[in-house]
Structure 1
């Protein structure tokens, strides 16, 4: 009997573990420099399209890029790089295969022939991927930006100059005079020849998805023309970037913008040819990433890039995993932004009220914030806002002065004065958020709804300190929230009035034992008891004690008038519950 019980418990824990683990599909990438990750040293702006690909998939997909500069299908195998990838593939993973640029080169350690050795290597990748339960996808090479005459000399010259730029043929010299005398035409000239056909032919032969990247990029580059197409490639003026002080004129390799554009059109082709991946594809206007896989390295750079007063459309920004130590400001002109974080995306700073600014003055409470949001219709999801200065007095994590601000699944971390709902007459909505602090850690003038939020006290103190203006219909409304505390915390009030007309209402909230029986504090302002509106409806948990509550507080008989859509409606009918982060339909 005992052994059966142990077996049952073991099975239970195993099942629980499997349920807890989030299934992640890995896309392995093998190829050359046009696909590979790049060094970021010296502000290097070069990117392979595979470097930026992670920003086009949800977190259910992990991109593991093994592409390497200068490699052909032959050298990738000979150097043991393929064996390494093969050892990592598990059932259901994908392998994206793109070679050709370096297979064309005459060097013995790289060269293969289309129709024979090149095709044989592609078959090897495909068959061995399938043997491991993986799913191969074949790509042909991206186009070189080669506008010129359709003769063999032009093709050979394009390849030679590509070699020189990559240092593969250091003995050759770039013919500057020839470069200057070349008159570019309107048509792109192919430099890959039959190397473009091998991936297509092997894909057809072995029934493998095939992405014609050459056609995708050919149409893109030729459509832009000789001048505009330079914006995609590594055309860098001298003395502008530390990584390449002499500048660069490179028609093969992509810059950040080019890699993002090409990855974007490629991922749509992938979704079409490999429909199983379509549901994971994401398109954002900008991506922020510390590993160089985005448009920018900081969130502030992305915010600054948003056009001022961009109306009737949202600008979407993905923030990839990382701690971004920056004092973020979203000005009023940057309207209609959606800021989406991957798991582990944190905006962090360490200012506090008594910290001095450059003039030797105290920064003050407002000046201490890690983030300032002024722009209306700002939507935020999966971002952590933190102030890491510790228990040093007022130290704001997020200062929100925006109307129709919507925070979903966000975290606000700090001690005193964590979340400052600053804006007068504005509305804010917090859904499934986590907010922690010590004293008055949710405070300010705004009308704010907290729906299904987790409110955590780190020390004895006060959860809220509203400063609701006289005549304002609503202050703070907490719906279905859970209030918890650190183990040693025993004396916490739901609220105290920063201003005399403070309002806070808790509706069907789970109150931990750290909430004092009296519930509410008058902040030693006896007159405020006559003007504040502090109320509860259907509180439960060990901290719920309606009979012992402060005499100036209320126990609501129903929630009429406190529906979320009523609290936030204002004059324009804003309803984030019904409409999500859609643009508000402003009545004029």
Structure 2
């Protein structure tokens, strides 16, 4: 089922569209609306359908109940009289588009992909001068789905964790609407516990021919507890093979990704390796199994050493007391990324996609 929404002032909608005003609060029985209308207003400029009026959603979230799956979403944004600046995130904090700028009288029609799980699409709007004229939400089975299996360095963070960001959370913004990123990564998981919790099985149920499965673990395989620990020379490899076999069983493409480094430097400013044999194991398995490899460990080492101990604080989740409301006492996290860091690491993943000549992904990069 497709959904068409005409945002703005008044009650008259474009034919085939549902009108959304600044007062339309989400109700489960209706299945759409703003989560909170406090910071939403609306204006009408002229009588043009769709573009003649709009909602102004400052930090507002629009919800619509949909079936799980991939969607192509078209956003129309602009203002006849004023320049605009709009940002869009999906399902909470997942970046889907670069910032959208228009000049007075210009209207942008931007398309992006979203993979929905949990029966609800959540679009967060922000920016210096946000405008939403219209939304078109159309289900699609033709897109390539890029599945991500991994840990907290990959996962989608919640709004309460801002500015924490896994690299998978921002990967969608690098792709056109032809590729939908389905981020199944979950904090604290290892190759073993991810499977034990049924998370790989959930991916298998959705995988289809031509899709991709990117696999990055290692941080938690090192942990000593029975539920997560794997040995890099035996059980780590055994579990990684299950991901490879899962992808191949559906004619999808598995891609192994070495663990991104932590922020640990020695006295000379060189990065310390905290993953050891787990990194070598992934490279060896990729060669034996004939699987494409993105060596994110090597790429992140180069980046972090270039930035140095001080510069990497803007990549990792470092903040002074009072700097971020969600970490009001300050934070010193040498494993997880803030939003800027998630973007930098995602850029390295895109670099790896190009280097591995993954053509059906390369052709849809922005």
Equivalent position of 1:137 in the other structure: 255
Equivalent position of 1:209 in the other structure: 292
Q: Does 1:232 align with 2:305?
A: no
Equivalent position of 2:194 in the other structure: 76
Superimposed CA distance per residue, residues 413-438 of structure 1 (whole angstroms, 9 cap, x where no aligned partner): xxxxxxxxxxxxxxxxxxxxxxxxxx
> Are the aligned partners of 1:61 and 1:280 in contact in 2 as well (CA < 8 Å)?
yes
Greater relative CO, 1 or 2 (CA 8 Å, sep 6+): 2
> Are the aligned partners of 1:101 and 1:141 in contact in 2 as well (CA < 8 Å)?
yes
Find runs of 4+ consecutive structure 1 residues off by over 6 angstroms: none
Q: Does 1:26 align with 2:110?
A: no
Shift of 1:85: 0.9
Equivalent position of 2:243 in the other structure: 125
What is the DSSP-based 3-state SS (H/G/I as helix, E as strand, rest coil) of the residue aligned with 1:77? helix
> Are the aligned partners of 1:126 and 1:136 in contact in 2 as well (CA < 8 Å)?
yes
Equivalent position of 1:196 in the other structure: 279
Unpaired stretches in structure 2, ≥5 consecutive residues: 1-138
What is the DSSP-based 3-state SS (H/G/I as helix, E as strand, rest coil) of the residue aligned with 2:353? helix
1:63 to 181, 184, 187: 181
> Are the aligned partners of 1:140 and 1:213 in contact in 2 as well (CA < 8 Å)?
yes
Q: Which has the larger radius of gyration?
A: 1
Q: Does 1:266 align with 2:362?
A: no
Superimposed CA distance per residue, residues 364-416 of structure 1 (whole angstroms, 9 cap, x where no aligned partner): xxxxxxxxxxxxxxxxxxxxxxxxxxxxxxxxxxxxxxxxxxxxxxxxxxxxx
How many residue pairs match? The answer is 227
Equivalent position of 1:279 in the other structure: 363
Superimposed CA distance per residue, residues 44-98 of structure 1 (whole angstroms, 9 cap, x where no aligned partner): 1000000000001111000000000000000001111111111111111100000
User: Which has the larger share of strand?
Assistant: 2
What is the DSSP-based 3-state SS (H/G/I as helix, E as strand, rest coil) of the residue aligned with 1:197? helix
Quickly say closer, same or farther: Cα 1:64–1:118, change in 2 above 3 A: same
Cα distance between partner residues in 2 of 1:35 and 1:264: 13
What is the DSSP-based 3-state SS (H/G/I as helix, E as strand, rest coil) of the residue aligned with 1:280? coil
What is the DSSP-based 3-state SS (H/G/I as helix, E as strand, rest coil) of the residue aligned with 1:113? coil
Superimposed CA distance per residue, residues 479-506 of structure 1 (whole angstroms, 9 cap, x where no aligned partner): xxxxxxxxxxxxxxxxxxxxxxxxxxxx
Backbone CA RMSD of aligned residues:
1.4
TM-score by length of 2: 0.60
2:158 to 36, 39, 53: 39
Cα distance between partner residues in 1 of 2:193 and 2:280: 20
Q: Does 1:185 align with 2:282?
A: no
Cα distance between partner residues in 1 of 2:358 and 2:230: 32
Cα distance between partner residues in 2 of 1:265 and 1:46: 18
Cα distance between partner residues in 2 of 1:224 and 1:45: 20
TM-score by length of 1: 0.38
Equivalent position of 1:116 in the other structure: 234
Equivalent position of 1:535 in the other structure: none
Equivalent position of 1:94 in the other structure: 212
